[in-house]
Each structure stands twice: as C-alpha cells, then as structure tokens.
Amino acid sequence: MIRLRAVLILIIGVMLAACTNAPVPSPQPTTPTPTPQPEPTQIVVGVDDLPPGFNPHLIADTSPVTTALATLVLPSVFRVDAAGTPQLDTTIATSAEVTSTEPFTVSYELNLEASWSTNTPIAAEDFVYLWERMRGDTGVADAAGYRLITEVRSRAGGKAVDVVFAEPYPAWQRLFSNLLPAHVLKDAPGSWVGALVGGLPASGGPFKVLTVDRARGEVVLARNDLYWTTPSVVDQLAFRRLDAPAIAAGLASGDVTVAMPEAREGIRTALGGFTPPPKLQPGPQPSVTQLGMRADAGPLADPRVRQGIAAVIDREAVRAAVAPEALAADAFGVAPSQPGYSATAPAGAPARPDPVAAAQLLTAAGWTREAGTGRWTVDGTPVQLVIGAAAERPQDQKVAENVAAQLTAAGIGVTVVVPPGVDLFGSATVPAIPPSTTAQPTPTASTTTTAAPAPTTGAGQRRPTPAPTPSRAPIPTPVSAPVTAPTTGPPTTAATTTTAATTTTAAPAPTGGVEVDLMVVPRTVGGDVGTEMASDYGCPLATALVPEPPRSPTGFCFHLLQPLLDELVMADPRPETAAAVERILWQQLPALPLFQPVSLVISTATGETATGIGPGPLGTGPLTGAERWRPPAS
C-alpha cells in the first residue's frame, strides 16, 4: 500500500513537471474596430452660376456668390448691420478711431488673436496690400476712398495701423473691408486677378474655401478650425449651380436647404407644385446694371452722340426682355432698393426713347442718315459701333444683344464682342471675341490671369489729368447739347425684343484688340454713395504714389463735375450738390442706368427653421450670419 502510494506520487510529480515545462501560447493580436466618423453636416445653397473669380474688389467678379464668400471667409474691420450702418468687428480690430485731423489719420488696434488660416497674423501688411491694389489697378470698384490715402504705417509688430489721408474722409469706416492675405497674394502668379480664380487661398473668417469644382459647378466651404472666436455651427456650406427644375427638385427632396437664384418666372413656375409653398423673399443685389458709353475716344466721345444713342434705346424693353423682376434704375447714385432713392431721370430723352430727338442729336454731331436705307453714316462711312459684354456674365450678354437689336433697327451698325470681364472693365482695347464662340467660359482653378496693362486712349495718348480744384466750387448750371432739325428718311424706331430675325454683325475673329464703344457694366452699390459716384464718374488725380492713375472702364472724365464729386466725398456736402451731379450725369451720360438685379431667397419650412435666411444687408447679402445656421433636421 505504501509502495502504491509512492508510485502515484511519483507519477503525479512527473505529470506536473511536464505541464510546467510546456510552452504557454501567446495571446492572439486583436484588430481594433474602427470608430465610424460621422458625415460632416452640410447646408447646400442653390445658385445660378459661379463667378469667374472671387475677388470682391474687382468689377469683373461681381456676383452673389462672390459677395457670400467674402462675407464668410474674409476679414473686415467694420461690418454693416441690418440698417446698413458700419459696426466695428471686434474679432478683427479692438478699436478704430480718428486720432488726428492734421493730417487726417485713423488708427486701428488689431485683435492679437486674429490670424489667417495659414497661421499668419492678420496685420498691417494686409492693409498695405489692399490699399496699393485699389489705388493703382484697373477694373476695381469703389476706389475713391483708397486714393485719398497717402500713407499706411505699421506699429506694434504689425498689430496696429495708422492710415493717413490727404484730406478728411468721413466714410473711412467703409474702407478695409474684405481684406486679402498679402503674404499669399503679393508674390503669387497673377496676384490680384489670377490667384483668386480658384478660390480664396486663406481665411480670416468662420469658414474657409475647401474646394472649387467648376466642372460640377460647386464651391464648398468648411469650418475654419483656426478661427479664434465662436466657430461655425455647421461643418460645411456648399454653393451648387442648379437650374430652376433642379432647385425645385432639390428643395423637395431636402438635398438643397435654401436657394438664391435670380428672380424670374422660370423658377416660380418650377416651384408651383410645392405644398406648402416655399417662402420667397426678394433680395436686391448690390449692383446696378448700366450701359457704359466710352467717352474718351471713338464715335461716342461727343456727348451729343451719347445722348442720341440713349434716345434710341428703350430701357424698359431691355429690362422686360432680360430681367423683368429687376428694379428699374433711373438714377446714377442711390440704387432703387436703397432708402432715399428717387428717380432723377429727365422727363424726356434719354430717360424715354425719342426717335425725333435721337435724329436731331446725331445730326448735330455730324452723322448723316441715308434716305434710301435709313443707315447712319459719318463722312460717308456707315457707323459701326462695338458693344461689349463680359464673357462670364450671360445676363449682360442678353442685355448687349437686346441693345444691339434696337440700335440695328434704328439704322446704327453694331458689332457685339464678349471678351473676359477683366479685359472689358480694365483695358482700353479687348479681344474681339464674337458671342458665337463663347459658351460662358469657366476658368479652372489652375487658370492664371494677369492684370490688364495700364490703358491708353485713342491712338495711345493718355487723357490729361485735371489740376486740383477747390473743394467747394460753385455748382455749374447744366447746358443742354445743341440740336438741329431732324433729317429726312425712315423714322427711327426702337425694337422692344430680340427675335430670331434680328441679328447683329458677326464680330471679327479674335486676332487682335478692338475698342469698345458701349459696354454692359455692373456698378456696385450699398456703400457710401458719394464714394461710389466719385469712383464711377470721377477723374482720378495723378499723385506722387500713382503718377498715371488708371482710367475708369468708360474713360469718362468731365472736369466741371469733379469738384462736385469731391464735395460729395467730404463731410457736409450741400443738399443741392447731389441733385446737380445727377443733372450733369444725365446730360453727359458716361453710362445709361438700366436696372438693379434681384435674387429670390427661397426656403422651405425645414430650411427656414435651420437658417432663418433673409435678404440680409445690401452689401453682404443673404448669407450674412450663416456661421450660426444649424444643420436641417433629417
């Protein structure tokens, strides 16, 4: 028994030893289960089209989308409130005030946290860059205030700025809005023009440009994660190019949250089946469409010819054919949607078409009408005017075609060209591109456009710069252009619509440049009216900083008018000054006002709850405050 017990103990010991020496299997590695990332929240805004570029200071880039991106991406020292009054944006500047009157100086203390999405501070160099571009480049909007600046000084490592003016400028709070990133643009190819074709390269606001896909017609903004104050609620905003049926379908399915197409019957028809109907709000755009008339050279240099051409054109017919829901514009300063607007147009021509007055004016200017054909000639040569519209602006092309049809019916030969907008608004000669070869070109993100060269007039001679004049000159009495009796021949008529049978002369092949006599040009509104009028109709003065200031798109400069424009820019202009300026402009006609475009701000009940969208202030538009929008409920 004892022996058996000993044997069992020995066997158990051996077995335990064997178990102890056996290799222990290693644990099998486990692959962690990935945590699914939520899709970014996104609000889609339906729009008609994308602009050719995104520089909010270029006339050629004027569009609702450009305005929206500037509002959400670019920093501004002041922003207008719902009443249109500038309010200091403390996320950019902690203070901005007039610190000296001799010389007039404004000092800015910039927010130390304010920086671009590249981690570069928003600083004095951005003020300098915008000032230099606005004072000396062609095709810019509202440059008069910047041309009064003589110096921009940096302090506190660039986080304080002193801006010195040649004279007091009461509208200084309107300056340095939509600052651009100097550290990116100053050495970029194309800089002022080309570098902004593919988007805005840096952000100083709650959103940044994520992608620009011109092939798909979409711009996507994403939350700027480096924004130093309250971040945007929604992750992304997408601007998507859609026609009227696609907007209606997208709103119905929820794929489109809100939309802001141009007001027209087609979109109203497409939305006709909605139950309940969506909310439609008119949103006037911050521009007025005008027919610019070249005043520094060519057949329209004589104001009687400009008056005669304007007396042929039926402006109401053009508006009805192109933008029937737009607001008729009958003034050069205040826009139809702005408080205080009133028509300043005279009772007769050119405010209303008048064939008899047109014939008298053209005859007095030396034109002759052939009795048999009704064709107007000068020195025996048929008149052939060139009218231009920006290739990237389809509505402007429709305006040009309608105006051309009316002039053709009146016996005036017309050629229509559609050059790029930067050329049309920035150069005295443009590529002679006919409409038939242009399918609304959309440059790609890699497209680089160089700034137009400094323009000249006529045979390359620059117009003399007027000498400085007193700031408060007597208001001149406008003098009517002389007229003579009308010539014989078929009566002058104005066509009211463009039909298939009404065609214009084909433009020459794009091999060289032509001078444009008439151009469809947007005039920016919504800022300081005096500054806008001085920018659009004034004579830029040569200075030591800019010895050869750029011409306006039409080359207009009327020396007797300049002192009154200067007065409108300064403090306390006389009440009668603005009225006198309007009277002179209607006689000199650097442009013929046509209409103020209107968008429709569209939202369903879901979109209204998510965004509370409205027309917004005129200068910043419906996307004002979009950083507070919430994703629509699913």
Q: Is 94 exposed, middle or buried (0-12, 13-18, 19+ CB in 10 A)?
A: middle
CATH of the domain at 604: 3.40.190.10
Give the range of the structural domain holding residue 120, as residue numbers without chain letter. 76-179
- Would you say residue 339 lies in a domain? yes
pLDDT band at 452 (very low <50, low <70, confident <90, very high): very low
β-sheet bridge partners, residue 431: 513
Q: Please write down the HEC assignment for all residues of 94-115.
A: EEEEEEEECCEEEEEEECCCCE
Check if the beta carbon of residue 115 is closer than 8 Å to that of residue 228: yes
pLDDT band at 34 (very low <50, low <70, confident <90, very high): low
Question: Among residues 146, 179, 212, which one ends one of the domains?
Answer: 179
The C-alpha atoms of residue 109 and residue 120 are separated, in whole angstroms, by 17
DSSP string for 425-488: TT-SEEE---GGG-S-----TT---PPPPPP-BTTTBPPPPPPP--TTPPPPPP-PPP--PPPS
Query: Each residue of 334-354: pLDDT tens digit?
Result: 999 999 999 999 998 888 999
- Would you say residue 5 lies in a domain? no
User: Does residue 202 share a domain with residue 316?
Assistant: no
Mean pLDDT for the stretch of residues 458-485: 36
User: Does residue 136 share a domain with residue 68?
Assistant: no
The C-alpha atoms of residue 307 and residue 351 are separated, in whole angstroms, by 10
Query: Each residue of 146-195: pLDDT tens digit?
Result: 999 999 999 999 999 999 999 999 999 999 999 999 999 998 887 788 88
Q: In the predicted model, is pLDDT for residue 449 greater than 70?
A: no
- Would you say residue 27 lies in a domain? no
Strand 104-110 to 93-101 pairing: antiparallel
Mean pLDDT for the stretch of residues 186-210: 91
User: Does residue 617 share a domain with residue 586?
Assistant: no
Query: Each residue of 527-546: pLDDT tens digit?
Result: 999 999 999 999 988 888 99
User: Does residue 631 share a domain with residue 574?
Assistant: no
Sheet bearing 104-110, strands edge to edge = 93-101, 104-110, 160-165, 149-155
Mean pLDDT for the stretch of residues 25-39: 65
> Which segments within 285-442 are labelled E, that is strand?
287-293, 327-328, 368-369, 376-378, 381-382, 384-388, 413-417, 429-431
Mean pLDDT for the stretch of residues 438-458: 36
Question: Among residues 179, 194, 222, which one ends one of the domains?
Answer: 179
What pLDDT score was predicted for residue 274?
Answer: 87
Mean pLDDT for the stretch of residues 6-24: 47
User: Does residue 590 share a domain with residue 493?
Assistant: yes
Q: Give the three-state DSSP class for 591.
A: strand
Q: Which amino acid is at 461?
A: Q
User: Does residue 511 share a domain with residue 393?
Assistant: yes
Provide the whole-model pTM. Answer: 0.84
User: Does residue 489 share a domain with residue 516?
Assistant: yes
The C-alpha atoms of residue 580 and residue 65 are separated, in whole angstroms, by 36
Q: In the predicted model, is pLDDT for residue 19 greater than 90?
A: no
Closest CA to 64 of 441, 613, 520: 613
What does the mean pLDDT of the chain come to? 86
Strand 518-524 to 384-388 pairing: parallel
List CB contacts of 295: < 8 A, sequence separation 6 or more.
301, 303, 306, 554, 555, 556, 557, 588, 590
- Would you say residue 29 lies in a domain? no
